[in-house]
């Protein structure tokens, strides 16, 4: 299986939300990581044939997905970033309803719904109304609806938004179970979600894929060094002004700083192995959503 993006571009007026992307994806979990406005949703909407590219094309096993039309959509499962659900429906009725929209035969739909409700860990909530579910449970119902047709391509836009730590772990396990024999593309701006689930990481910035590879490869591509050093508390604000600080730990009257810099920031600074968070900070700077630190 091969999903290939060639010179893929989407313009809104003169602005390129997706800018000349060339990318080939096969089975496995791909993590699309980028800050707000990077173009993640726009890219995904094109992959779901919801919007048309301004330029370039997408092929599935060599065939244009827009020409494949419903044959392609039958292979596709999609969880939109803002997914509409039906508040008064029970989880089970909601899934059966979506199955009917997707044209799945009632007998098959019933069986599949039952399996998926168990699969995503909603067995106890099957008869609860959608509006009474927690955020994480709703997302899991959303993933179940995307899985109804046993898609070969599963596209999940910010599936972990608003999940608590327990739900995040459950979600990661669920994705690794679902990822066998299919392509899963998920977007997030939360580094730790990508680190554990994606085999392949795509860093997206200003409509472009600026880096692609395994976690190790992405980390190895980091051009700057990460340093740990200790500073007096009163030095901290000037260090923040002068360097890219990825973390600060307070220690009595001292602070331990984690700094991303090509040069040694302080004489006793020691180089350490970068993490994906450091790489993210290197490329995305101050906008690095979840790893901004206050002192
Ligand atoms: N229909 C539209 N018309 C005009 N501009 C749009 C439209 N859709 C998206 N954009 C712009 O394209 C850019 C990329 O938006 P997109 O929603 O793809 O980003 P994103 O990476 O998904 O961001 P987020 O993390 O906030 O979800 C943004 O600058 C956005 O304002
Ligand atoms: Mg988005």
Q: Which ligand sits closest to the CA of 284?
A: 1
Full-model pTM: 0.91
Span from the CA of 37 to the centroid of ligand 2 (angstroms): 7
Q: For residue 240, is pLDDT > 70?
A: yes
pLDDT at 179: 87
Give nearest CA residue, ligand 1 atom 1: 12
Residue 129: DSSP 8-state: B
Per-residue model confidence (pLDDT) at position 112: 95
Whether residue 12 has its Cβ less than 6 Å from ligand 1? yes
Give the model confidence (pLDDT) of 40-76 as tens digits. 999 999 999 999 999 999 999 999 999 999 999 999 9
User: Which residue puts its alpha carbon closest to atom 5 of ligand 1?
Assistant: 12
291 pLDDT band, cuts 50/70/90, is very low
Atom of ligand 1 minimally distant from the CA of 13: 4
CA of 45 to the centre of ligand 2 (A): 10
In this predicted structure, what is the pLDDT of residue 124? 96
> Percentage of residues in the chain with pLDDT exceeding 70?
97
Residue 42 Cβ < 6 Å to ligand 1: yes
The reply to whether ligand 1 has any atom less than 6 angstroms from the CB of 46 is: no
Tell how far the Cα of 11 is from the centroid of ligand 2, in angstroms.
16
Whether the CB of 16 sits within 6 Å of ligand 1? no
Section 268-278 average pLDDT: 95
Mean pLDDT computed over 233-238? 88
Question: Coil, helix or strand for 25?
Answer: strand
Mean pLDDT of 263-284: 93
What is the model's pLDDT at position 289? 40
What is the Cα 79 distance to its own chain's centre? Answer: 11
Of the candidates 53, 66, 48, the residue with the CA atom closest to the CA atom of residue 22: 53
The first and second tokens of residue 109, run together, are 């739909």
What's the pLDDT at 158?
Answer: 93
Q: How far apart are the CA of 82 and the centre of ligand 2, in A?
A: 9
| Mean predicted lDDT score pLDDT of the chain | 91
pLDDT level of residue 263 (50, 70, 90 thresholds): very high
| Distance from Cα 39 to the centre of ligand 2, integer Å | 7
Mean predicted confidence (pLDDT) in 280-286: 85
| Interval between CA 41 and ligand 1 midpoint (Å) | 7
In whole angstroms, what is the distance from residue 107 CA to residue 160 CA? Answer: 31
- List, as one string, the DSSP characters of 156-180: EESTTTT--HHHHHHHHHHHHHHTT
pLDDT digits (tens, 9 = 90+) for 109-143: 999 999 999 988 899 999 999 999 988 899 899 99
Q: What is the DSSP annotation of 229-281?
A: EEEEGGGHHHHHHHSEEEEEEEETTEEEEEEEESS-SSTT-EEE---HHHHHH
pLDDT band of residue 170 (cuts 50, 70, 90) is confident
| Tens of pLDDT, residues 177-200 | 888 889 999 998 888 888 888 999
Residue nearest to atom 7 of ligand 1 (CA): 12
Tell whether ligand 1 has an atom less than 6 A from the beta carbon of residue 39.
yes
Q: What is the mean pLDDT of residues 22-28?
A: 96
231-249: average pLDDT: 90
In this prediction, residue 287 has a pLDDT band, given cuts at 50, 70 and 90, of very low
140-164 per-position pLDDT tens digit:
999 999 999 999 999 999 998 878 8
What average pLDDT does this structure show over 260-279? 94
201 versus 82: the higher-pLDDT residue is 201
Pocket test for ligand 1, best of 33, 39, 52 (most atoms within 8 A of CB): 39
Q: Does the beta carbon of 189 sit less than 6 angstroms from any atom of ligand 1?
A: yes
Q: Could you identify the atom of ligand 1 that is nearest to the CA of residue 38?
A: 21
Whose structure tokens read 């920031």? 265
Rounded Cα distance between 273 and 261, Å, is 13
Inform me whether the pLDDT recorded for 201 exceeds 80.
Answer: yes
Report the C-alpha gap between 45 and 199 in whole angstroms. Answer: 22
């Amino acid at each position: 299986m091969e999903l290939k993006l060639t010179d893929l571009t989407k313009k809104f007026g003169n602005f390129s939300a997706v800018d000349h992307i060339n990318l080939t994806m096969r089975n496995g979990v791909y993590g699309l990581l980028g800050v707000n406005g990077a173009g993640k949703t726009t890219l995904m909407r094109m992959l779901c044939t919801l919007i048309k590219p301004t330029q370039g094309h997408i092929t599935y096993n060599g065939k244009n997905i827009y020409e494949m039309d419903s044959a392609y959509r039958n292979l596709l499962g999609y969880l939109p970033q803002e997914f509409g659900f039906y508040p008064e429906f029970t989880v089970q009725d909601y899934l059966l309803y979506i199955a009917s929209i997707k044209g799945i035969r009632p007998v098959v739909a019933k069986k599949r719904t039952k399996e998926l409700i168990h699969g995503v860990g909603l067995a106890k909530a099957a008869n609860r109304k959608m509006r009474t579910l927690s955020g994480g449970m709703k997302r899991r119902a959303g993933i179940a609806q995307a899985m109804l047709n046993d898609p070969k391509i599963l596209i999940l836009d910010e599936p972990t938004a608003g999940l608590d730590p327990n739900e995040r772990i459950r979600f990661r396990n669920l994705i690794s179970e679902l990822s066998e024999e299919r392509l899963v593309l998920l977007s997030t701006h939360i580094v730790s979600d990508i680190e554990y689930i994606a085999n392949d990481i795509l860093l997206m910035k200003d409509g472009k894929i600026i880096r692609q590879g395994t976690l190790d490869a992405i980390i190895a591509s980091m051009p700057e060094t990460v340093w740990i050093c200790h500073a007096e508390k009163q030095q901290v604000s000037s260090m923040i002004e002068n360097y890219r600080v990825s973390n600060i730990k307070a220690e009595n009257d001292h602070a331990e700083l984690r700094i991303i810099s090509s040069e040694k920031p302080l004489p006793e600074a020691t180089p350490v192995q970068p993490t994906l968070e450091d790489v993210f900070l290197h490329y995305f700077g101050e906008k690095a959503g979840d790893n901004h630190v206050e002192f």
